[in-house]
Chain A
Amino acid sequence: MLGVKDLTVAVGPDSNPVEIVSSVSFAIGKGEVLGLVGESGCGKSMTSLAIMGLLPDPGPRVRSGRIELDGADVTNLAPWQRVEAGHGNIAMIFQEPMTSLNPVLRIDEQIAEAVRVHDGLSGAAARARACELLEMVRIPDAALQMGAYPHQLSGGMRQRVMIAIALACRPHILIADEPTTALDVTVQFQILGLLRELCDRLDMAMLFITHDLGVVAQLVDRVAVMYAGRLVETAAVETLFDNPAHPYTSGLMACMPAPGHRTRRLTTIPGQAPQPGSISSGCAFAPRCPDVRDICRVDPLARATITEGHEALCKFPVTGSAA
């Protein structure tokens, strides 16, 4: 459904580019949910914008790599070009529904707009489809809520409206960029459940971007961990939580406060994530890695395969379960 091969996104002149995303590769199949996990500045949002063709202009550009939707190469196509070429079945939802929805238009108009573009319907037919989409995202009293303005809805409801707009193009792939980060826990719970249900029902693939490992555990089938623009580990979700191979992944898991496991001191990852472009050789995580060796700072990295479907970008990954 979605294939990303060696994607590199950078800013600055071609002679001296500063990489924000470095050689990222992954693939998502039908009905599968891939979680893209990382902290702020790791490049996960940039990756999703590149996939959608929404990189700001002027600004960071795709320097190399391929993006494939349903087998077709869309790497350098703008969104309208993709729709024209028939590869427009991809949609995105964002973190802040308040800024993604037009505050002066009623929600039925906003959904109908998307319907008009993709289905070519208009007027009553578009409205009817809009209502159908609202019901699909489980908005209570959909027919009534159609006439509401975004500010009259709660955060959770607005997010559902965004999902409805995204579904208008009958996407094969949905990219969700931290859609629940700004929502309350109880609302998040419901939205995650809704997303999972939609993926199952519509056979939709989903790229779910988040910094929250808890959400990842709840929702996704496979996980890709990003650090400093690179993909440092990919695995099935159970495998990742059972045997994190990359020191960053295990560090991240260790420093999360888990209710019920109160410790005297939380384990931390010392230092800070590097600025883009500041690591020129060797492993980006070397300055902070508890198991770093000299060779890590110098040698180019190799992707180690731990088991089938489980890879880590580390020379000395942690393999095997506890002795």
Chain B
Amino acid sequence: MTRDRLHSWLAPFLGRPIALLGLAILVGMILAAIFASVLSPYDPRAIDPIIRLSPPNAAHWFGTDQFGRDTLSRVIYSSRMALLIGVGVVSFALLTGVPIGVFSALFPRLGHVLMRMVDVLMSFPALLLALGLIVVLGQSVANAIIAIGAVYLTTTTRITYGLTLRLRAETYVEAARSMGSGTAWVVVKHVLPNLISPLLVQASFVFAFAQLSAASLDFLGLGAPPDIPSWGNMLAESRTFITRAPWLLFFPGMMIVLTAFSLNLVGDALRDRLDPRFQEMFASRRRR
């Protein structure tokens, strides 16, 4: 039975090559982050002024920057920051958004107040809100995660709120209540399991947007500190060399785009898997 479920999660990817590509890129990025030290040809911090600003060549596939650092190695190591930001932001958004959403749905009066506060947060343009929080909290990777996370906790809260409201009215929840279940039981056994799928889809999109937001913050110098390699930082440092050494902007830029793009593809495929029609099709095929 578990093999069947695994298959049902893989099915939307198997049927669609482009989603498979997205998944492959994502997996590649995770592997790059984990095995960065093995995969990188050079130390990302190693300075070699002699070969500074060399275009892509046999020794340095992605060229070197103004300090002679190998771009390829820096790109690979940056994937760690990308992963960290992505996981951090998604975790923050889920750990704050889900409880607020569930709580608001179960306790309507307090819930209304909370949801209006979330509305206020949502009315800020994402970058502006993140910037504002960084200014208040101070610059660091952790604060960047919190700042960006705050932006996306709003959509997470909204989704959770709507879903919990709907789930509360389901007959099987009534059945549980009629058997004496308390709110905690309903939340743990009925609400949360039904939240996993939609939140998984949401998480992939948030992961993607987090990359873009983090890159923007880094570019403005308000995200990760400059000594930590990240794609946004690489873009920031290379701004002045755009005509002389365009590869310094191309490769990190392309990585940002690829990451966000592949996550969107994965998110789309996951969302389709959740589409009720797809479920039905799959279920009836199994019934035979």
Contacts and interface: CB of A to CB of B under 8 A. Distances in A.
Interface of A: 275, 278
A278 B284 CA distance: 12
A40 to B, nearest CB: 14
A278 B288 CA distance: 8
B16 interface: no
A233 B233 CA distance: 78
4 A-B pairs with least C-beta separation: A275-B288, A278-B288, A275-B287, A275-B284
Nearest to A277: B288
B283 to A, nearest CB: 12
Interface string B254-288: 00000000000000000000000000000010011
B288 to A, nearest CB: 7
B13 to A, nearest CB: 23
B243 to A, nearest CB: 53
Contacts of B284: 275
A275 B283 CA distance: 13
Interface range on chain B (Cβ under 8 Å from partner):
under 10
Contacts of A275: 284, 287-288
A275 B287 CA distance: 9
Interface of B: 284, 287-288
Nearest to A276: B284
A275 B284 CA distance: 9
Nearest to B284: A275
A275 B286 CA distance: 12
4 contacts: A275-B284, A275-B287, A275-B288, A278-B288
Contacts of B287: 275
A278 B285 CA distance: 12
B250 to A, nearest CB: 43
Contacts of A278: 288
A275 B288 CA distance: 8
A211 to B, nearest CB: 21
B188 to A, nearest CB: 35
A278 B287 CA distance: 11
A272 to B, nearest CB: 11
A10 to B, nearest CB: 15
A1 B47 CA distance: 91
B284 to A, nearest CB: 8
Nearest to B287: A275
Nearest to A278: B288
A134 B287 CA distance: 47
A154 to B, nearest CB: 25
A62 B288 CA distance: 24
B214 to A, nearest CB: 43
A187 B246 CA distance: 78
A13 to B, nearest CB: 15
A188 B288 CA distance: 38
B42 to A, nearest CB: 55
A41 to B, nearest CB: 11
B274 to A, nearest CB: 21
Contacts of B288: 275, 278
B184 to A, nearest CB: 37
B168 to A, nearest CB: 24
B281 to A, nearest CB: 11
A189 B243 CA distance: 84
B278 to A, nearest CB: 15
A26 to B, nearest CB: 29
A18 to B, nearest CB: 10
